[in-house]
Structure 1
Amino acid sequence: MAEKIPYYNNLSESFQSADIPVLNPDFELIKFEDIPNESKLFKQPFRLNAFIAALVTDGSFTLNINSQVYHLERGNMYFTAPWHIRHYHEIKNWKGYIIFFTPQYVFQQKPARTITTEFPFYQAESGLTTKLNEQQISSFEQLFTDMQGVLRSDNPDRYKMLFHYTNILLFNAKAATSGSYTVTKGNETVVSQFMNLLNGYFIELNKGNIKEELTLKAVAEGMHLHPNYLSNLLKDQTGKSASQIIRERVGLEAQALLKNTNMTVAEVAYYLQFTDTSNFAKFFKNVTGFSPSGFRESLREKV
């Protein structure tokens, strides 16, 4: 099979590939301009088991998140989650700040709620970017600078302090991005758990730990709910049935693989646990309106 997208379980693994020293495998804050130009990390798509919040203060670059392409410059903030495929390219004198923190870091500090429930922009299937005004840029830049000072200090409680700083930053970002995403109301715990299980499936698939098709029955069993009850509940909360959400999520993964790898259509179908290429092609056409090869051709036409 053609190359799989690298998956880094923690910051130590990913930063080692980028030749960047890391103090903590679960939390780091660095400047874009301090990342070596020759870093291997940015020469190919990858997944990283970390949430990211970043501010661009100068320069520009292009960032692919799953199948979505973002052209980022001064004033842009962006947010990605562990299940996102990321690919940085066309980097031109970029400057700014980027925070990495793993789910483990969040759990150690605050086990009661999930990060995606607290900050819904991390639920976005293809990440989220927003454009700040100059006053907001200045405010966020000062906050990132303060956090970097705490991180590089000798304070024994610096990671506990940084957790609170991170929450302040994210709550401010939540206000700045209000209206850029849909907030799920009602039974958020079930919806969030369902989405986390879907995203976890693709992470484990990427790591080679799963050899079964993603099904509603399997997800429902993981949540200890009857499939019909789960589907009706999701329909009430999101307007979509569980099966529809699963199909859309598999479709998004297929698009991301077709865009970010050289895997053949047959290899993508096999990777996603389809029985044969024709079934995958029929599924993909039904979900996206394109054949797999047509989708790739449409991407080439946009370049």
Structure 2
Amino acid sequence: MKDEEKLIFNNLKEQYIHFGLPADGIDEKTDFAIHNLKDVHTILPYQSLIFRPNFFSFVFVKNGYGRYTTDELVFDTVPGTIYFTNPGHYKSYNWHKIEEIYLITLSESFLKENVHKDIFEEFPFLLAETVQPRVLSSDAFSEFEQLYLLINKEYQNHSAYRNRIIGNLFVVLLLKIKEYFWKDYNPIYEGNRSSQIVKEFKRMLEKHYRDLGNGLIEKAYRVQDYADAQSLHPNYLSNVIKIKTGKPIGTWITEKTISEARALLQNSTIAIKEIAYRLGFSESTHFSNYFKKHTGLSPVLFRKQHIAATS
């Protein structure tokens, strides 16, 4: 899969541009997008290349037919299908009929900043490695349709409160998904040994950075610490994570560090020096350089821009 491994996209606009699909309706200013696939796939049938997105996807098929592939999972999409994937999986899809199929994509940062700061604690099914699709009756599906159409309306409305409104509506959407499908779901107990290793690592990573952000612990974990917690050799853990998710363990840790840093800069008045310390940096200058390397902005400028956008 050498050529296919190069098809890694950080957002939907990047993916659509690469695939030669219209991307004008996708706002670059937010890590969130929603649209009816009918407006994108004007020529059918359509078969995508194999790719790996670094964002969450939610598909709501009111009226359409096709086929989805996520890693080893292959299924037909029919009216009433609801399906989602999280970052790191290899995917492809084809469509041969589309009337109303809404796709929502969003980043982990958007989830934490606008939906729920403890998003994976409240909705653990989002950590599921591979999720089986669900097909609902038309009455049950209509409950979700009302929500995603409201979200779409707000997405088209470029108000100063757009992300907050979308975030609150998305909480309701996730609660409905939890109510219908995953009320008692615990992703840690699903799958084979490798899958359990990945899920436990994700759970630990999320809890550890939440505790760091809340100031409950002082030391950032190393790969060795995550390995020791599961009684594994660090090289073995690293190999399992890379093979199963497509991302090195260091990338998972980096992305989590940046996500938590963004959340703290946006949602608190904690001094940048204190944020650096909480996230395991001995010097605030090291944190500032690290943050700028991965976001293009210094922590100071990132916070100023957020304040200006919300004031």
Q: TM-score range by the shorter chain?
A: 0.5 to 0.7
- What SS does structure 1 have at the residue aligned with 2:65? strand
Residue of structure 1 in register with 2:129 after alignment: 125
Judge conservation of contact 1:124–1:181 (CA < 8 Å) in 2. no
Residue of structure 2 in register with 1:195 after alignment: 202
Q: How far did residue 150 of structure 1 move?
A: 1.2
- Aligned residues: CA RMSD: 3.7
Residue of structure 1 in register with 2:16 after alignment: 15
Q: Deviations over 1:32-85 (max 9, x none)?
A: 21113459x952011222111221001211000111101111111001111121
Residue of structure 2 in register with 1:211 after alignment: none
Judge conservation of contact 1:61–1:90 (CA < 8 Å) in 2. yes
2: distance between equivalents of 1:171 and 1:87? 27
2: distance between equivalents of 1:2 and 1:53? 27
2: distance between equivalents of 1:169 and 1:161? 13
- 1:162 paired residue among 143, 163, 166: 166
Judge conservation of contact 2:115–2:168 (CA < 8 Å) in 1. no
Residue of structure 2 in register with 1:178 after alignment: 182
Amino acid at match of 1:20: A
Q: Deviations over 1:107-137 (max 9, x none)?
A: 3336732x44432332222233112122211
Amino acid at match of 2:162: R
1: distance between equivalents of 2:153 and 2:47? 26
2: distance between equivalents of 1:13 and 1:151? 19
- What SS does structure 1 have at the residue aligned with 2:230? helix
Residue of structure 2 in register with 1:4 after alignment: 4
Residue of structure 2 in register with 1:64 after alignment: 69
- 2:53 paired residue among 48, 64, 67: 48
Residue of structure 1 in register with 2:255 after alignment: none
Which of structure 1's runs of 4+ aligned residues deviate more than 4 A?
Answer: 190-193, 241-254
Judge conservation of contact 1:79–1:121 (CA < 8 Å) in 2. no
2: distance between equivalents of 1:62 and 1:121? 23
2: distance between equivalents of 1:242 and 1:118? 29
Q: Which has the higher contact order (CA 8 A, sep 6+)?
A: 1
Residue of structure 1 in register with 2:302 after alignment: none
2: distance between equivalents of 1:69 and 1:11? 22
Equivalent runs, 1:98-109 vs 2, <5 Å: 98-109=103-114
Residue of structure 2 in register with 1:149 after alignment: 153
Tell me if 1:140 matches 2:144: yes
Residue of structure 2 in register with 1:202 after alignment: none
Q: How far did residue 96 of structure 1 move?
A: 1.9
- What SS does structure 2 have at the residue aligned with 1:160? helix
TM-score (norm 1): 0.61
1: distance between equivalents of 2:80 and 2:51? 25
Q: How far did residue 156 of structure 1 move?
A: 1.8
Q: Specify every segment of 5 or more residues in structure 2 that has no aligned partner in the other structure, as ranges.
A: 190-196, 206-220, 247-311
Aligned length: 220
